[in-house]
Amino acid sequence: MPHVELAPVSRVGTSPEPWWKGATIYQIYPRSFADTDGDGIGDLKGIAERLDHVASLGVDCIWISPFYTSPMRDFGYDVADYCGVDPIFGTLADFDAVVARAHALGLKVIIDQVYSHTSDQHPWFIESRSSRGNPRADWYVWADPKSDGSPPNNWQSVFGGPSWTWDARREQYYHHNFLKEQPQLNCRLPAVQEALLDITRFWLDRGVDGFRFDAINFMMHDPALTDNPPVENPAKRTRPFDFQHHIHNQSQPEIALFLERLRSVVDSYGDRFALAEVGGEQALKEMHEYTEGPRRLHSAYGFDFLYADQLTPQIVAQAAQHWPDRDGVGWPSWAFENHDAPRAISRWVAPDHADQFARTKMLLLGSLRGSIILFQGEELGLTQVDVPFERLQDPEAIANWPQTLSRDGVRTPMPWHADRPAHGFTSGEPWLPFGPDHAELAVDRQSADPTSMLAFTRSVIALRSRTPALRWGSLDVNEAGPQLLVFERTYGSQTVRCTFNLSDTEAPLRRHNGAMMTTGPVLADALGPYAALIEEIS
């Protein structure tokens, strides 16, 4: 799909802002990035070998999803050793090599930390469940049954069914917001907090530049174990979890106080970055709380776009306006795709507009105020894969089949070479299948095409990096109608106008003369379907 690109204005010399502010972050899902030992599962050596590709995009940072020792019931988000590397992925030395290679290429490195729960194979839990009197007996959330033997309250698990599992050794239930193999840590306990802060220091000592804190608003529960209230007149739901307001099993006010301790540790290592993932009904309120002022986390992101079934001017405008450029208000981060959410290009547009839309979507992400996150393969325009039931790996997808677009469909391997076996991802059998269109989207094929989606992505990131208004500026919405989204970004004396037609029909346009980048047909008085125009107006 052709596009018109004019040279970006280059005004950024020595940055007046911290590196993470306005940064472009590239998420790597290790199982699916690159495999070097032929077992069909990606590994740390594969990441190190393929970082040249990531650096060529012009991004500032990589975020590596869990690679820790784990039984892989939730593919690494069930941690059995916070300070160890699972043999599937390699060794601590392999991780150190990734950090060294990334830093040599000018890339920062942030890693996932999962502090709300562990694996049931973690030594802490093995000890905790052994008796009611051991030194870690209260490191997890344990409760006696009701008089009839049923669970202590009505809390439900994200992955389906009650969030309580009976343990005969203690004759008690333990709490888990996710799988029963992911018992909930009692993060109110000072000893648990100290242990988590020690883990933070361990990875900072190894040279990481920051963290993405997974499901951070699940860290603490109401110790009174109060029942959650029901959702009145719920629409169709796929999980019992959706029938409740999650007031008491998560989102406790004391979480923010722990985040201040966490930020203090991170800051003690200098120029580091702390990013929260926050979902749920109170996500916006909690994201603001968790990033308020200089003592809490640097940034947070939620699910404004990740689970949206369409992309409209109103959705984008509302999300942007929730984060005004005002003292005391935190810095947002944004993602259109990640390892938990289906590919945006498959959610938001019909196939006949997919090529054009992929470019406009990328330019929109690159124009938002905040830090932005690309998920591996997004730079290629990868589509969601329809993984057949017999190939599913994701426990959530298996439990809710066929009512959800599975997380497996976005976690499929990176296609590096169009014509090699397994598209160059592995010499063995990939753990998940490729999509039928992924060969034509492979890195080697797109690298040879100056009009490819990959080339366009590089141009967008370069534009953002070189344009202070796009990287750091304020955002003011001018229009959010049925078709057009128009906003202005201002930093210092520079103002950039961003106009997006998010519909499948032509839209009227009033344009200026300072065009910096376009996608699709841009006429004197009209913007084509799913087309965009970035202009410098002062």
Q: pLDDT tens-digit profile of 291-346?
A: 999 999 999 999 999 999 999 999 999 999 999 999 989 999 999 999 999 999 99
**Which pLDDT belongs to residue 239?**
84
How does pLDDT run across 110-120, given as a tens digit for each residue? Answer: 999 999 999 99
One-letter identity of residue 257: L
How does pLDDT run across 161-172, given as a tens digit for each residue? Answer: 999 999 999 999
- Is 350 a residue whose pLDDT tops 60? yes
Per DSSP, what are the bridge partners of residue 156?
162
Cis peptide before 521 (omega within 30 of 0): no
Higher pLDDT: 187 or 394? It is 187
| Cβ atoms of residues 8 and 467 within 8 Å | yes
Helices (H), 268-403: 283-290, 313-321, 344-348, 354-367, 395-400
d(CA 304, CA 349): 17
Average pLDDT estimate for 281-286: 96
Local confidence band at 14 (pLDDT 50, 70, 90 cut-offs): low
Pairing of strands 142-143, 172-175: antiparallel
**Which pLDDT belongs to residue 15?**
76
476 classed as catalytic? no
**Which pLDDT belongs to residue 271?**
96
Helix, strand, or coil (residue 53) = helix
d(CA 488, CA 476): 5
**Which pLDDT belongs to residue 514?**
74
214 classed as catalytic? yes
Helical axes 283-290 vs 254-267, angle rounded to 10°: 40
**Which pLDDT belongs to residue 2?**
37
Average pLDDT estimate for 244-268: 97
> What DSSP character marks residue 249?
S
**Which pLDDT belongs to residue 406?**
77
Domain ranges across the chain: 24-118+189-465
- Domain 24-118+189-465, what architecture? Alpha-Beta Barrel (3.20)
Local confidence band at 401 (pLDDT 50, 70, 90 cut-offs): confident
- Is 11 a residue whose pLDDT tops 50? no
Q: Please state the three-class secondary structure of 387-421 as a single string.
A: CCHHHCCCHHHHHHCCCCCCHHHCCCCCCCCCCCH
**Distances in whole angstroms, Cα of residue 272 to Cα of each of 54, 103, 212, 268:** 20, 14, 11, 9
Q: What is the mean pLDDT of the chain?
A: 94
Where are the strands (E) in 436-483, listed by range?
474-480
Per DSSP, what are the bridge partners of residue 526?
508
**Which pLDDT belongs to residue 13?**
46
Average pLDDT estimate for 386-397: 90
How does pLDDT run across 79-107, given as a tens digit for each residue? Answer: 999 999 999 999 999 999 999 999 999 99
| Cβ atoms of residues 506 and 487 within 8 Å | no
**Which pLDDT belongs to residue 76?**
96
| Cβ atoms of residues 47 and 65 within 8 Å | no
- Is 538 a residue whose pLDDT tops 90? no
d(CA 211, CA 217): 15
Catalytic residue selected from 35, 78, 94, 214: 214
d(CA 47, CA 30): 7
Share of the chain above pLDDT 70, in %: 97
- Is 268 a residue whose pLDDT tops 50? yes
Catalytic residue selected from 277, 337, 379, 394: 277
Least confident of 127-136, 149-158, 505-514: 505-514
